[in-house]
C-alpha cells in the first residue's frame, strides 16, 4: 500500500511524536515532533527533519551543529499516531553533547546521570 | 538528587510521553502516556502503569491481557518532557498481538508489514 503522510494521526497542533533510535546499536536517542510536511521531507531527503515547537519552524536535525540524522527506515505504530525512526546519528544527538537525550536514570528514588558530554571535535 | 515526578514537564493535559523499550534486545515496543501519578505508581510497583487517554483511567499494562511490562529502569530526557522505560515485556506488547507496535515500515514509498501476530498461548 502506498504510504501517504496525511493518513497518520496528528494531534490538535498537527504534530506526531517521532522517536529516533540508532539503527546499529538500538540506543534510543531522542523524541521530537513532526508535521505531515516534515514526514514528507524526511522521507524525500533521507535527512531527519522535525518541526520545532519553540521556533515554529522546520528543524533539519544537525543543520547547524553538524550532528545530522540519516534516515535508515521510518516505522509507523499500530495506531498511526507515533513514528519510530531508525537512524545513523553523526556525533551526539543531544544538545548537551551527550550521545542520547536519555542520560538520566531513576535509581532507588534518585536521579543518576549516566554519561558526560562528549568532547567537541 | 531525589527524583520528584512533579518536576517533569507535562503537557496541557498533564501528560508526558513514555517510550517502552525491551531492556534485553533494545527493541522499541510502544509509546503511551503517563501523568504524575502513573509515574509514581510505576516506580513504586515496578509494573508499568500508563494513563489511558481514551478511557481517562489508569492502565496497568497487561492487567487484563497478562502481557505485563516489568520496569527495569526509568530514564528522563534532557528537557524532562519524555520518559524512556526499559522493561521486561511478557508476551506481545501490541494489542494486535505483535511483539511491538512498530511493525509497519515505509520502504520505497510503500507500507510493509514486518511481522505477524504471535500465536496466542
- Asked if the C-beta of A60 comes within 8 angstroms of chain B's C-beta atoms, the answer is no
At A121, is the pLDDT very low, low, confident or very high (cuts 50, 70, 90)?
low
Q: What residue segments make up the domains of chain B, in order of their start?
A: 5-92
- pLDDT score recorded for residue A8: 98
The secondary structure of B81-117 as a DSSP string is: S-EEEEEEE-S-SSTTS-S-S--EEEETTEEEE--PP
Cell numbers standing for residue A121: 571535535
Maximum CA extent, chain A? 48
At A78, phi and psi to the nearest 5?
-60, -35
Among A3, A79, A104, select the one facing B109 at the smallest CB separation: A3
The CATH class of A5-90 is alpha beta
- Beta-carbon contacts of B115 under 8 Å, excluding residues fewer than 6 positions away, are B98, B99, B100, B103
What's the rounded Cα separation, in Å, for the pair B10 and B32?
Answer: 13
What's the rounded Cα separation, in Å, for the pair A83 and B17?
Answer: 13
- pLDDT score recorded for residue A5: 98
Instruction: Name which of B89, B118, B105, B112 is nearest B27 in CA terms.
Output: B89
- pLDDT score recorded for residue B91: 96
Task: Evaluate whether the domain defined by B5-92 bears CATH number 3.10.20.810.
Answer: yes
CA closest to A112 among chain B residues? B1
Q: How many CB pairs under 8 A join A and B?
A: 106
- pLDDT score recorded for residue B47: 98
- Asked if the C-beta of A96 comes within 8 angstroms of chain B's C-beta atoms, the answer is yes
Give chain B's length: 121
Give tens-digit pLDDT for A32-65.
Answer: 999 999 999 999 999 999 999 999 999 999 999 9
CA distance B75 to chain A (A): 4
Residues in chain B with pLDDT values less than 70: 120-121
Classified as helix, coil or strand, B26 is: coil
- pLDDT score recorded for residue B121: 54
What's the rounded Cα separation, in Å, for the pair A51 and A83?
Answer: 14
Cell numbers standing for residue B56: 481517562
Mean per-residue pLDDT of chain A: 96
Amino acid at each position: 500500500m502506498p504510504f501517504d503522510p496525511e493518513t497518520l494521526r496528528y494531534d490538535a497542533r498537527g504534530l506526531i511524536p517521532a522517536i529516533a533510535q540508532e539503527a546499529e546499536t538500538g540506543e534510543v536517542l531522542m523524541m521530537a515532533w513532526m508535521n505531515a510536511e516534515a514526514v514528507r521531507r524526511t522521507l524525500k531527503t533521507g535527512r531527519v527533519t522535525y518541526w520545532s515547537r519553540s521556533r515554529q519552524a522546520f528543524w533539519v536535525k544537525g543543520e547547524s551543529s553538524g550532528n545530522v540524522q540519516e534516515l535508515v527506515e521510518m516505522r509507523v505504530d499500530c495506531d498511526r499516531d507515533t513514528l519510530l525512526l531508525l537512524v545513523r546519528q553523526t556525533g551526539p544527538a543531544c544538545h548537551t553533547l551527550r550521545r542520547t537525550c536519555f542520560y538520566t536514570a531513576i535509581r532507588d528514588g534518585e536521579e543518576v546521570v549516566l554519561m558526560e558530554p562528549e568532547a567537541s571535535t
